[in-house]
Amino acid sequence: MLFKDLVQSWLKYYEKCVKPSTVRVRKHESGHLINYFETIKAKNITKKMYQDALISLKDRLSDNTIEGVHTSGRMIFGYALEFDILKTNPTQYATVSRTQKTVEDIENTKEIPKYLEKEQLSLFLGAAKEKGLSGDYAMFLTLAYSGMRAGELCALKWNDIDFNEQNLSITKTYYNPTNNNLKYELLTPKTNTSIRKIELASIMLDELKKAQSSQNEIMVLYRKTYHDKGFVFVNNENYPVYPMYIKMIENSNETYIKAGQSCY
């Protein structure tokens, strides 16, 4: 069996056990190995050949990406051993050496803030409220006050919100690698602990109620064509917003905050 065929055999087995988003990652990672071993028989791949492939990847991939490639490699050859396709595992003893930073590297690295300070958040939410598109303020307010992941927010439905108990339930996440409105999927959360309830602050409750009322008015006007699947945050075509939309606005935060102007 050629290595590329072994990978395809493993993927067909693997995709039955995990979410599509995980399969997509593994396909990408195993693709790097296919570039090296595509036309080589799997049984002829030696431990040295496999280690040399990992070393060669350091010229163009990050340490974390190579770690992922190695993880997929171990899974592929582990599958081959489990089902008696191969008798040896070339990934055994293979290592991924991490790049050592010099003092100069550390000194020259510019720290990129991973969060907004209180004043910056207030400035950004103010822009969303005054300058943003319809629903932007409620969306970013919910993200800021709840700590939800973007995919969880995109999958949020009105029946996940309990206005009486003042909480919302996280039970799913949004998946749409092509950012095509019509081709989204709802998947289970990232981990079991991701299934949770979040208390809603009064400011969130008020804005979500306003958003629901506004959405109901639009539904009445366009009841025949409205894509009514119960999503809280929707785009102009009434399909759920996707994470890339949120990311685009997040990427403009720094420019906006520095300039003191709207990021929209």
Mean pLDDT confidence for 2-15: 96
Of 108, 139, 159, the one marking the end of a domain is 108
Q: Is 113 inside any structural domain?
A: no
Mean pLDDT confidence for 152-179: 93
Number of C-beta neighbours around residue 75 at 10 A: 16
Let me know whether 141 and 247 are in one domain. Answer: yes
In our burial notation (b when 16+ CB lie closer than 10 A, e otherwise), range 137-159 reads bbbbbbbbbbebbbbbbbbbbee
Instruction: Tell me which residue of 115, 136, 135 sits closest to 263, measured CA to CA.
Output: 136
Domain span including residue 227:
118-259
Q: What is the CATH number of the domain that holds 89?
A: 1.10.150.130
- State the alpha helices, DSSP H only, in the chain: 3-14, 20-37, 47-57, 63-82, 103-108, 118-130, 136-146, 150-154, 202-221, 243-251, 253-259
Let me know whether 240 and 139 are in one domain. Answer: yes
The H-or-E segment that residue 174 falls in is strand 173-175
Of 85, 108, 131, the one marking the end of a domain is 108
Q: What is the pLDDT of residue 247?
A: 78
Q: Is 195 inside any structural domain?
A: yes
Instruction: Tell me which residue of 111, 36, 32, 37 sits closest to 72, measured CA to CA.
Output: 32
Query: For the chain, first and last CA: distance in Å?
Result: 54
Which of 50-59, 98-107, 220-229 has the weakest average pLDDT?
Answer: 98-107
How do residues 187-222 score in pLDDT, each as one tens digit?
988 788 889 999 999 999 999 999 999 999 888 888
Task: Mark residue 179 as left, alpha or beta (left: phi above 0; alpha: psi -120 to 50; beta: remaining).
Answer: left
Q: How many residues does the chain have?
A: 264
How do residues 112-128 score in pLDDT, each as one tens digit?
556 778 888 888 888 88
**What's the pTM?**
0.69
Angle at 235 between CA 230 and CA 240, to 5 degrees: 40
DSSP single-letter state for residue 158: G
The confidence band for 91, taking pLDDT boundaries of 50, 70 and 90, is: very high
Let me know whether 226 and 134 are in one domain. Answer: yes
Let me know whether 68 and 183 are in one domain. Answer: no
Q: Is 82 inside any structural domain?
A: yes
Let me know whether 181 and 244 are in one domain. Answer: yes
Number of structural domains (the chain) is 2
